[in-house]
Structures are given as C-alpha cells and as structure tokens.
Amino acid sequence: MVFKRINAICSLILYQRRDYYNKFRHHALFIGAAVPFFTQSDSNDTSNFMASPITPMEQLQSNPTDMKTRMELMIMKVQAEFCKALEKEENSSHKFLVDKWQRKEGGGGITCILQDGKVLEKAGVNISVVSGHLPPAAVSQMRSRGKQLSEGQLPFFAAGISAVIHPRNPHVPTIHFNYRYFEVQDGTNVQWWFGGGTDLTPYYLNNDDAIHFHKTLKEACDRHSNTYYPKFKKWCDNYFDIPHRGERRGVGGIFFDDLDEPNQHKVFGFVTSCANAVIPSYMPLVAKHKDEKYSEKERQWQLLRRGRYVEFNLVYDRGTKFGLQTPGARYESIMMSLPLEARWEYMHEPDQDSREYKLLEVLRTPKDWV
C-alpha cells in the first residue's frame, strides 16, 4: 500500500538550505576529489565518483561491512557509471553539473543534472544519504502499514539513488529508476528494508525495446528469486497508473518495497543487481535510436506524453506529493524528475490506426513482455 516512502521521507528531510550549497558548474572539480580506499574486491573505486561521498571518509573506512557504508558506496558507484554512460552517448560539450548539498540535521545529497543537451534533453541522477530523527507523523505512517515501531521520534538512516532521463529524440524512451535502503532504530532494535524499481516510458512503442528492457530486468531478478520478476512487474504496472486517464505512465518494469527477506546481505545483492541492470537495460536503446530522424508531429506527441508524465508525478507519485507537502523540502531535487518541456492539448486523441494509438493501447492494457 505504501510505496516510495523512503524516497518521500528523504525528501521530507532534505531541507533546502541554499547557504549550504556547494554548486559546481564543472564536475571536473570533483573528479579525483574522492580517493580510493577499498580493496579492489569491493568494486568501489571511489576516485570515479561524481563527488566525494556524503559520509566522511574516515567513517566509511572504519565501517566497511556496515550496510550503510555498502549502500552509500553502491549508489555512488551506480550514479557515476550511469552519468558517464549517458555522457558518452551525449557526446557533446554538455556534461553533468554536480550539486553537492548538505542537510542541517545530518547527511546530504549529490544531484547530477544534464540539461538541454544534444541527446539528453533533461537527465537527473540524484543520490541522498541522510540521517536524523523521523518525525512522529512518519513513524505513525510506518506503523499504519505494519512496521513494529514505538511511537515518537526515532533515529533513522536512508540512502537512495533516483534518476529520470528525458532524451530529446522521441524514439528514445524515458527511463526512471530508484533504489533505496532504510534503517530505523527503535531502542536497541534496528529495522531495515530496501525498496526500488526501474521503469520505461516510450513515446513510440518498439516491441524489441520493451522486450529487451524487461528481459534484462527479469534476468537481474531471476538471479536471486524466480518469484521476484512476476511479482514486481505487476507491482510496477499497478503503481505507475494515471487513473483519470485510464493509462499507465509507460510500459513498466519492476517496482518493490519493504524487502527485508531472506537477509540483509541477500537483499542488498538483489538491489545491487537491479541497479547494475539499469545500464544494460537502457543504454542500448539510447544508442539505437538517438540519431533516428523524427518529425515535428512526433516531437509534439512526445511533449504531450511528457504532460502525462508530469500529471503522474505531481498528482499521484507518493514520494513527490509527500515531499512537496513538507515545508522546506529540497524541491529542486524532487522537481528534477519533470521534463524540460511538456504540452497539454484539449481532447487529444490519436487516430486509431496510428503509431501513437498503438502506444496508447499498451498503456491502457499492460502486457507481458517476456
């Protein structure tokens, strides 16, 4: 019932404090600022990160096996790899801007944005690593969905990565993904869980693309449990619903929350597989379609569909809604998901034999791709 709440709670507490901004217009400033300290077996070469980690190096170094450390390093690695893969396809002077921001109460985030590029019209890849005390309202909400927690303020930790890529070419789909780890301390007991998902929003339906995307996600899931993909695929279709339009936002993917079984190590392994599946699921589609010719009509259709994307994010997405309702939330990191441009036409309805209509059919009745 409650989705994306970790993201929401992150938004809740990622207060925007312009005073704390370290705004770097050239990410080169940051590359090299992080030094490697883990062994190669950790697969975490921090020197390639988009910025130095949020948590002080000494703290990470002294707790290498702590899940907080492992998650922070994993998401920073995924952020860096994804940004670099995107920059490679962009192949222009447009590079990711890196905004590292801090939160007064604890932690902060790194927002990477590439805007108005040749291939990438708007690409945002955000990580946040925050801690502090959950407000009583957040604790109540967690209790209401079954978490065994005492009432009142409780110490928490949350680390997550969230990205939305809106390419310029209407033949390249939009991708969104979000993976997050949450800990709440209740007395001496620490509760933890993972959540996340990856989903695709094409403007023109390409069966091969949808199959490749779902197949890559399924393979990542199947490595951990054969039950994951069917369950999380359905969850995704149900979550990314725009009820007033009678449409899904896109062709789905996977979506899950509250994952805390069979154990922390195994769930982290699964989430890592999912996060690592983003590049192979998506980047081939960018490479394949980014140079395809498109007409003004196709561009207009893309903008209309982006209007639907905005409708979903602002009206239905629980993380966005909850975040925005919180005074002082870092709204720029929340609104990062919105496209550079969007369009709304009254009563737009594509012809029944058009390629635009073919997409609508799949959005109205989700199908199985693998």
Residues found near a second copy in the complex (CB under 8 A): 23, 97, 99, 111, 113, 115, 122, 124, 243-245, 303, 307, 310-311, 314-315, 321, 324, 327, 329, 331-332, 334-336, 338-347
Phi, psi of 8 (to 5 degrees): -65, -45
Would residue 212 show up in a list of annotated catalytic residues for this protein?
Answer: no
CB of 334 to a second copy, least distance (A): 8
- Amino acid, single-letter form, for residue 355: R
**Helices 67-90/264-276 angle, 10° precision:** 10
Question: Do 354 and 301 form a contact (C-beta atoms < 8 A)?
Answer: no
CA distance linking residue 211 with residue 331, whole number of Å: 35
> Angle 213-238-210 (CA atoms, 0-180°, nearest 5)?
15
DSSP state of 15: B
Closer to a second copy by Cβ: residue 145 or 348: 348
Question: Do 35 and 51 form a contact (C-beta atoms < 8 A)?
Answer: no
Q: Catalytic: which of 27, 166, 171, 176?
A: 176
Residues 6+ apart with CB under 8 A from 59: 69
Phi, psi of 3 (to 5 degrees): -110, 155
Closer to a second copy by Cβ: residue 72 or 317: 317
First to last CA, the chain: 26
Closer to a second copy by Cβ: residue 9 or 220: 9
Closer to a second copy by Cβ: residue 116 or 291: 116
Question: Do 119 and 168 form a contact (C-beta atoms < 8 A)?
Answer: yes
Please state whether beta strands 247-248 and 241-242 pair in parallel, antiparallel, or not at all (unpaired): antiparallel
Closer to a second copy by Cβ: residue 97 or 370: 97
CA distance linking residue 183 with residue 190, whole number of Å: 6
CB of 304 to a second copy, least distance (A): 10
- Amino acid, single-letter form, for residue 327: P
- Report the residue count for the chain: 370
If you search the block for the tokens 């990622």, which residue do you land on?
A: 14
Separation of CA 220 from chain center: 17
CB of 205 to a second copy, least distance (A): 23
Smallest CA-to-CA distance from 253 within 236, 278, 272 is with: 236
CB of 131 to a second copy, least distance (A): 23
Active site residues: 176
